[in-house]
Amino acid sequence: QSALTQPASVSGSPGQSITISCTGSSNDIGAYKYVSWYQHHPGKAPKLIIYDVSSRPSGVSDRFSASKFGDTASLTISGLQAEDEADYYCCSYTRSNTWMLGGGTKLTVL
């Protein structure tokens, strides 16, 4: 098992939009709708922000959106705010009945 591939870091200015990619394979992202995204502020528990590829839990801002094409999932954050600065992780169910997380992407709001 190796981690899903995410860029190590992305950055953007307040008000801008950024996109984080998450690349897997036909054994995970490409095979299932169980792709989710998590926001992790250091010292706090991670928070679910996207499930089932593109659905938002109640209470999560509509500035967060996501999609999937083939073996790659993407998370877009629009209208960047200072509070969005955090680590972001993708996650997918796999054909082995296990779960795989991405390596994480550090978002810096300039």
Partner 1 sequence: DVQLVESGGGLIQPGGSLRLSCVASGFTFSNYDMHWVRHVAGKGLEWVAVVGAAFDTYYADSVRGRFTISRENAKNSVDLQMNTLRAADTGVYYCIRDREGAFDSWGQGTLVSVSS
Q: What are the residues binding partner 1 (CB under 8 A)?
A: 1, 3, 32-34, 36, 38, 40, 45-48, 51-52, 57, 87, 89, 91, 93, 96-104
Output 14 or 44, the one with its CB closest to partner 1: 44
- Please report which helix (H) or strand (E) contains residue 72, including its range: strand 72-77
Q: How far is the CB of 61 from partner 1 (least distance, A)?
A: 17
Backbone phi, then psi, for 72, in 5-degree steps? -120, 130
Kindly compute the dihedral angle of the four CA atoms of residues 83, 88, 93, 98, in this order, to the nearest 10 degrees.
Answer: -120
Q: How far is the CB of 1 from partner 1 (least distance, A)?
A: 5
Token output for 87: 């680590």
Q: How far is the CB of 72 from partner 1 (least distance, A)?
A: 19
